A and B are shown apart, each in its own frame.
Chain A
């Protein structure tokens, strides 16, 4: 039973345009959500997070939106840059310091 789902294995976006990565979850007890970025042959690195008491969090070009009623969150990257090409993982926590991970979405930024 996959509690965190990223239904798009890959996404291709033109440089300078908006990239939107989606994530759905099933467990209503999740109260904290994180996005990680992973380059090949490296460990995942933290990108941005959001608490369940908020519906939006912004950090520079990155914004995460949370829709609790739909159990859906999305990561927006504006504008997309070539260095954003990576695999993006969505993860969720229910306050126990364990994270449940989605399968990842490979983002390709085309020049």
Chain B
């Protein structure tokens, strides 16, 4: 039982490059989330999903896209990376039985130069 896993753990991109971050959970959770964490700030919600095939915008969605083709996976894409997207990205999941408690992956540290 791995919980929530994220791939990759670290990445350095040049401005304008694209990449996809992968999140996988093995807890059969309905809800999945992508956050970014920047120094001095709390976690900010980028996009989320309430079930397979559904996605919705969070607080800071610009510059990102997501897909949830399978219940256990939630992908975050950066089509044209910008230095402002340098951050630590966390994926989380939860389900109706979890009382709003979200389970987090270990994070992906992304640097855009």
Q: Which residues of A contact B (CB under 8 A)?
A: 4, 6, 9, 32, 34, 41-46, 49, 89, 91, 93, 97-99, 101-104
**Contact of B101 (CB < 8 Å), options: A34, A101, A102:** A34
Contact A43 B100 (CB under 8 A): no
**Contact of A49 (CB < 8 Å), options: B41, B43, B100, B104:** B100
For the complex, what is the distance from the CA of A102 to the CA of B40, rounded to whole Å?
A: 10
C-beta contact mask, B89-113 vs A, less than 8 Å → 1, else 0?
0101010000111111111000000
For the complex, what is the distance from the CA of A6 to the CA of B40, rounded to whole Å?
A: 11
Contact B107 A42 (CB under 8 A): yes
Contacts of B48 in A (CB 8 A): 98
Contacts of A101 in B (CB 8 A): 42-44
Contacts of A102 in B (CB 8 A): 42
**Contact of B107 (CB < 8 Å), options: A41, A45, A49, A103:** A41
Contact B40 A44 (CB under 8 A): no
Q: List 21 A-B contacts (CB under 8 A).
A: A4-B42, A32-B99, A32-B100, A34-B100, A34-B101, A41-B106, A42-B106, A42-B107, A43-B92, A43-B104, A44-B90, A44-B104, A46-B101, A49-B101, A93-B100, A98-B58, A99-B45, A101-B44, A103-B40, A103-B41, A104-B42
Closest-CB distance, B40 to chain A (whole angstroms): 6
Asked if A9 meets B90 with Cβ closer than 8 Å, knowing A46-B103, A99-B100, the reply is: no
Closest-CB distance, A23 to chain B (whole angstroms): 11
For the complex, what is the distance from the CA of A32 to the CA of B98, rounded to whole Å?
A: 12
Contact B106 A9 (CB under 8 A): no
**Contact of B43 (CB < 8 Å), options: A9, A89, A93:** A89
